[in-house]
Structure 1
């Protein structure tokens, strides 16, 4: 089961494995098996071996899926890199994991060539191109459930990028637990408009192969295109972030072929849950994280009407313990830090012994919430004032450090500003003694921060508001930015 495509080729060869909505092309498991074999052979010809780390810098597309499965066949470790990051951010991540090569596409080739690893493109017009390598015969790797399947980056609660180790066992346990919550049918088609360098997007492709069902890929998210794809391909499932769900509801009627619409990456507002249910969309608010190979808890549609502020009970095999500041478990209804344990939880981070991230009850998430008397999880707030904008995590300290490196900036406070569409936007209150403007700061940040991390709300002050103890008064900062919103 470590090579899911090979497994399905033996038992389910004629079933549709993959659909590309942009081209209309599709692959059966038998056809995908041959394509993966070719891709693995070409990677092997370039010197990629079992245990090597292979970086992938591209958006969701069939070539990304083939690379993910080719890594399993070779025994290589897949390292998806966020194609939206600025080059300095990518460079730091690449140095932390030292991939033997980076596979890119035409749109990311220029950035990839600035990183510290050999680069090859999946697009024939680029040089060097993966297709230029003559494939060699590949012997399927002998893998264990404890072997690392992928390294996915997350900022972590400290703001420092960390590479999360996800094993074959983590991925399989997550697929099983999700199946028990959402169900699996032979004709399921799961549409993925999410980026595959995030666990929410990658998990759709990996789980579908384990189930022997179909993954339907879109190239990015456009509400009209996604609505059309859901209908044209009779999709039974879709993964979204709240902003995407809102845009789909704004754009028109959503296909009645859906059994579930999994919505995560950021808190789903209760009124959005109610709106979806009123539109007969089987919405499933979920809470998950990279460190758990996606879902931790998920609410079923029939439960959502009465519990629109919950993310459901923890999935099969997953335990969530709510602890207080002293690290001791709290009673039902008491708010504290969420600690997660179970077979989906990462064994740790690259280059980190994990002692600060784990406790006797499991992985410390840094998220706050409570479990009610009926076992339903409610999530709200993050310990480190992390900002979640459109499903992307942003750490204020990282943004502030970049802005404060501008020679005209003295101090900066960065907070999340409420936004109806994105959940939050990044806001910055700036202390400057020179003629710095919001436009100059945006230009300064352009090649230093990913677009979603750059402040969209900027205000200026003579000094930052502070509490009696001298720390920045974040509530007052939000008030100061309110007039600019």
Structure 2
């Protein structure tokens, strides 16, 4: 088929495609298609052809959406780069992704220049630097929408890098279409749906929204960054029926002064484990939370829980999406029964064919049961998935294995605890000791003695946290996951101060 937008514009040209919350401007599918055609022509005038890798360094905005579909129109590959990275990190990613062009905006122009090396840089805004080409000043070539097969590479997205150097993940046209379909079977799709995108589009959670809206023929509402009060306003003002958030964002939304609108059908919550108290708060507020587990390597969602299932089983991320198989394996790689804890392996049409130009990483990442996620969890008898922690996060203390996710579950179940991160830190006697960064509930007076009494009969002695540090918030990565290296540093620094 042709690119997603060209196909959608032929089917429903007058339907609302995109709304920019900042300016209030709206585009129909026909208008967006015409704008994308001009952008694709300008990229072609700069030499972009089928199969080329085009980097985009910017935050969420309409110009980013146009580039997503313009790169598709040429049959090229989109490479979104994290606008929060340092120039040296960006340079490494630029080299690894084999870019032929890097497109930036005003706020990222200096970083783009520093990281670009021999790769030409173009800007969607008027650039101050003479060596950056203004995209709008290019005379567009005439282009015809490229034909796409299911196995053609649509994008390269970098992993978050929480367990090592970020790797470029190959995502195909078929991956994106399969993920959109499988997600629709869980969330549903209605003709008047409006999905708010307040996530960064250089992450899969943000990028997936305009792609899926184009497939569904629904409306993508863009917000240029998250702010709890402003996001709540935008949801209400634009009659949004859906929104994607990470748990910290949802927590702030629920604590904001504004009430979330009744128009919401789904709140897709992923990127990090959803605390059980956040699920309970969502139920109390009537918010249709859908806790989700996913990865860049699986084109976003692997499993998602609907609200009723989530309210009844607040620790689950739900059941695997249609077509996705999740197998729990032991350390030897053999499948284990329901209820037993092991590594989660994922197979299905949403799973990447592999990391770009990384044969060794691919050999390590894939096995007989599909992608080895590195995540530890289990399935219950009803097929629901529970994710505990990363396999690499496992703590070995005195020769005993401790799953930090299990420890965190117990600590978090104390009524005075809002959130917790459990990590291992070096210990001269035991090799590692279990440590916990604990965020108390608002206005809660929490003492270590109370926590020790709480976990005394719930955890084996070797799994008891030996170091407890109380903090106002957990350190997190840009995608919302706990920054475990930073958490470990906080624990060590606190211990040194004692």
Give the TM-score category using the shorter length. 0.7 to 0.9
CA distance in 2 between counterparts of 1:43 and 1:247 reads 39
Deviations 1:38-79 (A, max 9, x none): 000000000000000000000011100100000111001000
Structure 2 residue 321 is the aligned partner of structure 1 residue 315: yes
Q: Which residue of 1 aligns with 2:85?
A: 85
Supply the distance in 2 between the matched residues of 1:357 and 1:457 (Cα, whole angstroms): 26
On the 8 A contact 1:417/1:425 being kept in 2, the answer is no
CA contact (8 A) 1:426 1:454 kept: no
Name the residue aligned to 1:123: 125
Q: CA deviation at 1:109?
A: 0.3
Q: CA 1:123–1:481 in 2, change beyond 3 Å: closer, same or farther?
A: same
- Offset, 1:416: 8.2
How many angstroms does 1:84 deviate by? 0.6
SS in structure 1 of the partner of residue 133 of structure 2: coil
Aligned to 1:403: none
- 1:250 corresponds in structure 2 to 255
The aligned counterpart of 2:373 is: 365
Distance 1:125 1:297, change over 3 A: same
Q: Does 1:326 align with 2:376?
A: no
1:384 is paired with a residue of what secondary structure? helix
Report if the CA contact (8 A) 1:243-1:423 is conserved: no
User: Does the 8 Å contact 2:2/2:145 carry over to 1?
Assistant: no
Determine whether 1:216 maps to 2:221: yes
Q: Which moved more, 1:89-98 or 1:168-177?
A: 89-98
2:357 maps to what in 1? 351
Partner Cα separation in structure 1 for residue 370 and residue 487 of structure 2: 36
Q: Which moved more, 1:107-116 or 1:377-386?
A: 377-386
Aligned residues of 1:425 and 1:457 also touching (Cα < 8 A): no
1:130-180 deviations in Å (ceiling 9; x for gaps): 111011100221221100000000145750221000000000000000000
Distance 1:453 1:114 in 2: 29
Judging changes above 3 Å, is the alpha-carbon distance between structure 1 residues 139 and 87 closer, same or farther for their aligned structure 2 residues?
A: same
* 1:401 paired residue number: none
The residue number in structure 1 matching 2:386 is 378
Moved more, 4-13 or 364-373: 4-13
Tell me, in whole angstroms, the C-alpha distance in 1 between the residues paired with 2:213 and 2:83.
Answer: 23
2:198 to 181, 186, 193: 193
Note the C-alpha offset of 1:124. Answer: 2.3
2:363 is paired with a residue whose SS is coil
Q: Distance in 2 between matches of 1:323 and 1:370?
A: 9
Asked if the contact 1:39–1:135 (Cα under 8 Å) also holds between the matched residues in 2, the reply is: yes
Which residue of 1 is the match for residue 281 of structure 2? 275
Q: For the residues of structure 1 that align with 2:334 and 2:182, how far apart are their CA atoms? A: 27
Asked whether the 8 Å contact 1:297–1:377 carries over to 2, the reply is yes
What residue in structure 2 maps to residue 202 of structure 1?
A: 207
Partner of 1:400: none
User: Which of 472, 475, 479 is residue 425 of structure 1 equivalent to?
Assistant: 475
Shifted more, 208-217 versus 154-163: the winner is 154-163
Corresponding residue of 2:5: 5
CA distance in 2 between counterparts of 1:75 and 1:69 reads: 10
Report the Cα distance in structure 2 between the residues aligned to 1:200 and 1:420, rounded to whole angstroms.
29
Structure 1, 156-165 or 350-359: larger mean CA deviation: 156-165
The residue aligned with 2:184 is 179
The verdict on how the C-alpha distance between 1:226 and 1:355 changes in structure 2, with shifts beyond 3 A counting, is same
Structure 2 vs 1, CA of residues 425 and 57 (structure 1 numbering), >3 Å: closer, same or farther? same
Structure 1's unaligned 5+ residue stretches are 389-395, 397-412, 428-451, 460-477
Cα separation, partners in 2 of 1:384 and 1:136, compared to 1, 3 Å: same
Q: Aligned partners of 2:236 and 2:309: how far apart in 1?
A: 25
Cα RMSD (Å) of the superposition? 2.8
- Please give the alpha-carbon distance, in whole angstroms, between the structure 1 residues aligned to 2:390 and 2:484: 17
Compare relative contact order (CA 8 Å, sep 6+) and give the higher one, 1 or 2.
Answer: 1
The answer on 1:261 being equivalent to 2:267 is: yes
Aligned-pair CA distance for 1:128: 2.1
d(CA) in 2 for partners of 1:164, 1:2 = 23
Task: Please tell me whether the aligned partners of residues 336 and 368 of structure 1 are also in contact (alpha carbons under 8 angstroms).
Answer: yes
Please tell me whether the aligned partners of residues 286 and 296 of structure 1 are also in contact (alpha carbons under 8 angstroms): yes
The number of residues matched between the two structures is 424
Contiguous gaps of at least 5 residues in structure 2: 395-403, 406-422, 424-432, 442-471, 478-482
Give the 3 Å change call, closer, same or farther, for CA 156–341 of structure 1 in structure 2.
Answer: farther
The separation in 1 between residues aligned to 2:8 and 2:476, in whole angstroms, is: 44
For 1:426 and 1:212, how far apart are their aligned partners in 2? 34
